[in-house]
Structure 1
């Protein structure tokens, strides 16, 4: 009976002595209460394949502004300027530069000659 009491008292002593917080400098998880703020851009121009496109955007809180462009297959450059402000939604202005160029149609199939 004395041995059981000694074991119970030892367990209580260990439980009381255990630290309530980790000793390695615990810090709580960060909260992300601040609104987003960033700025980025990129562009690609490859003369070999004809790819030409890019994008730029900046955001401060709920105010977002940006633009992107792409060289279309018909030779025109399509530009899109946009803004987003809170709940107003995505407001875009699309413009085109240049004239559409359509090359003359080339027959893609020539039948094989027949021999009689």
Structure 2
């Protein structure tokens, strides 16, 4: 779990940086999300080593991320919001979630004193 933060840091910077080009984010954010999903699996498998605060942050992330994905899917199906506007909002929310995940990996790194 030591290298999760550094890997996440560089991938988040690249992913969110490419997102600023708007169309690059369509490719970058799903790849970043996929790598963060793999990191979540690694963290979940070692959750017993986390302190109470980091477990709470991690479980919050695990609850918020799929909830927001479901909300955006429902909004896209049942609302009249333009697809491009919804995509833009989702890219912003995804970037915020990426930074939240980065913060979680930072706190885990800090807990381990690495």
TM category, shorter: under 0.3
| Structure number having the greater strand percentage | 1
Larger relative contact order (Cα-Cα within 8 Å, sequence gap ≥ 6):
2
TM-score normalised per structure 1: 0.19
Higher-Rg structure is 1
TM-score normalised per structure 2: 0.19
